[in-house]
Amino acid sequence: MKLHILGCYAATPRTMTNPSSQVLEIRNHLFLIDCGEGTQVQLRKNKIKFSRINHIFISHLHGDHFFGLPGLISTFRLLGRDKEMHIYGPKGIKEAITLLLKLGDSWTNYPLVFHELVSKDSELIFEDAKVTVETIPLDHRVYTNGFLFKEKIAERTLDIDAVNKNNINRAYFQNIKNGKDVVLENGTVIPNTELSFDPPAPMSYAYCSDTAMRIEVVPQITGVDVLYHESTFLESENHLTAKTKHATAKEAANIAKEAKVGTLLLGHYSTRYKSIDLFKEEAETIFDNVQLADDGKLFEF
């Protein structure tokens, strides 16, 4: 599982800081999560193949998470895309994109499929043989969802030596990968564990931005390998969280601790602070495994 951070700073784009956008590589999918202004340039800088993106997840309709989407959609058209593009985001996103395309008389030559979200409860919004994606209801000034990406348990891996030694026909291979024992023609049963290895543990990633600290997310994200949680502020500015509906680094760390996640990844930093190291220091007073997102950084988990 790889995570490309394209932008992880709060509010307005600046010369050196980009608004929210990231690409999660998971089981051969490239999921684009949020799309602040300038995302398409960040995709190019990070050498991410545009054509491999088929699903875009938008947490909420504030500009710093969304205003790069119209341009990206237009660019896909100019690049000659013909595959479907699936866009998941709050109700209204379809009307906005449709109006902008209409005004520019620039309809896409590929199908745009909108999945508009309205539920205040978690929903399963994507599923295939390898991955599921659920919404994580968050607490922000407008309707906002985080997203929980989970790998499914993969197939078991054939133990080729054991399979050959037992002279097992190829016709059984898929059953073995699916965890079945093999019954030979003479009636002998060979247990699956003697013919295959455990698959890699399925990974999971939770994206929680933007949000005030919301303890209700804990049951849903308990045990995830990686939690990206916004930390717009430090505790010194905790008087701002109620009005702005953002969280502090300490609050993010509390969520990580309660949910017993593997790694806490901080982001969505206000640019008022001298150094983002301050966020890590504050979170580490609560939770051990803290990492800092930063624009252009690639994490492999």
Single residue of 141, 165, 260, 272 touching a copy of itself by CB under 8 A: 141
165 binds a copy of itself (CB under 8 A): no
Instruction: Say which amino acid occupies 56.
Output: I
Q: Least separation, in Å, of the C-beta of 212 and a copy of itself?
A: 16
Q: Tell me which residues in 95-134 interact with a copy of itself (CB under 8 A).
A: 95-96, 99-100, 103-106
Catalytic-residue membership of 64? yes
Out of 34, 64, 210, 295, the active site residue is: 64
Instruction: Say which amino acid occupies 284.
Output: E
Cα separation, 33 vs 58, in Å, equals: 6
Q: Residue 66 or residue 269: which is nearer to a copy of itself going by CB?
A: 66
Provide the token pair at 274.
């001298």
Q: Least separation, in Å, of the C-beta of 42 and a copy of itself?
A: 9
7 binds a copy of itself (CB under 8 A): no
Using the rule CB under 8 A, give the single segment among 58-66, 116-124, 172-180, 286-294 that binds a copy of itself.
58-66
Q: Residue 1 or residue 41: which is nearer to a copy of itself going by CB?
A: 41
Provide the token pair at 164.
């050959």
Q: In 3D, which of 29, 28, 47, 38 has the Cα closest to residue 7?
A: 38
Cα separation, 43 vs 64, in Å, equals: 16
Q: Least separation, in Å, of the C-beta of 298 and a copy of itself?
A: 17
58 binds a copy of itself (CB under 8 A): no
179 binds a copy of itself (CB under 8 A): no
45 binds a copy of itself (CB under 8 A): yes
Q: Residue 90 or residue 262: which is nearer to a copy of itself going by CB?
A: 90
> Residue 226's beta-bridge partner residues?
205, 263
* Footprint of a copy of itself (CB under 8 A): 11-15, 37-38, 40-41, 44-45, 60-64, 66-68, 70-71, 74-75, 78, 90, 92-93, 95-96, 99-100, 103-106, 141-142
| Residues belonging to the active site | 64
